[in-house]
């Protein structure tokens, strides 16, 4: 298979997978009857932001490899002034709840995290990302080959997000608990 076509296929596949998580969350919301409106609004907002981000990535991937361009569809921004958030890094986790908690905590502190559901997809676009940003990698997706590749690409602030275990690895800058940290400490790196 042509390498560009293979990369496009993997990218499209990951984006389609990424769409499923927030859609499942939205479907779950519909089934809840006793939730407070504030909580419902929060989950809807975060899920819709993720869908917007994924659809933009999907559109870009399709346009990059297609013989014709698909029309651009612009969604109204759900969060005003989101571009004013200070970027800090990326969280790679297949756990939507963890992603939401970390993104919301970062936003409350004035920072912005970008979430990824798989290490393979992150690697496929890593050359377009800022290597000075922190990479928070869920322990469920951690493997030394992946972190070694990230380090070779210039990522130096790699943290493993885990509940209890710690260890030593030259590529890993540290270990962080599942509970979102104070992001200010990472932004100052």
In a domain, 169, yes or no: yes
Question: Are residues 129 and 175 located together in one domain of the fold?
Answer: yes
Question: Are residues 27 and 108 located together in one domain of the fold?
Answer: no
Question: Are residues 86 and 177 located together in one domain of the fold?
Answer: yes
Q: Total domain count for the chain?
A: 2
Contact, 19 vs 57, CB < 8 A? Answer: no
What's the average pLDDT block by block, 10 residues per block, for the chain (189 residues)? 71 70 67 61 72 73 57 39 64 87 88 86 86 90 86 92 72 88 75
Which residues touch 58 (CB under 8 Å, ≥6 apart)?
12, 15, 16, 19
Distance, in Å, from the CA atom of 57 to the CA atom of 86, rounded to the nearest integer, reads 21
Q: What residue numbers bound the domain in which 115 lies?
A: 82-187
Predicted pLDDT at 171: 86
Predicted pLDDT at 16: 66
Contact, 118 vs 14, CB < 8 A? Answer: yes
Predicted pLDDT at 71: 45
Question: Are residues 58 and 102 located together in one domain of the fold?
Answer: no
Angle between helices 96-108 and 3-31 (to 10 degrees): 80
Question: Are residues 36 and 105 located together in one domain of the fold?
Answer: no
């Amino acid at each position: 298979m042509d390498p560009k076509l293979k990369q496009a296929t993997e990218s499209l596949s990951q984006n389609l997978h990424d769409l499923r998580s927030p859609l499942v969350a939205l479907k779950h919301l519909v089934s809840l009857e006793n939730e407070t409106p504030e909580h419902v609004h929060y989950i809807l907002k975060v899920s819709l932001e993720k869908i917007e981000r994924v659809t933009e990535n999907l559109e870009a991937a399709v346009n990059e490899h297609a013989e014709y361009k698909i029309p651009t569809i612009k969604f109204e921004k759900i969060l005003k002034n989101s571009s004013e958030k200070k970027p800090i890094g990326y969280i790679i986790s297949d756990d939507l709840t963890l992603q939401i908690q970390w993104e919301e905590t970062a936003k409350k502190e004035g920072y912005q995290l970008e979430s990824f559901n798989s290490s393979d997809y992150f690697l496929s676009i890593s050359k377009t990302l800022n290597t000075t940003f922190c990479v928070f990698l869920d322990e469920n997706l951690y493997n030394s080959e992946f972190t070694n590749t990230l380090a070779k690409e210039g990522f130096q602030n790699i943290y493993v997000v885990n509940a209890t275990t710690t260890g030593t690895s030259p590529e890993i800058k540290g270990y962080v608990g599942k509970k979102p940290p104070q992001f200010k400490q990472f932004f100052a790196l």
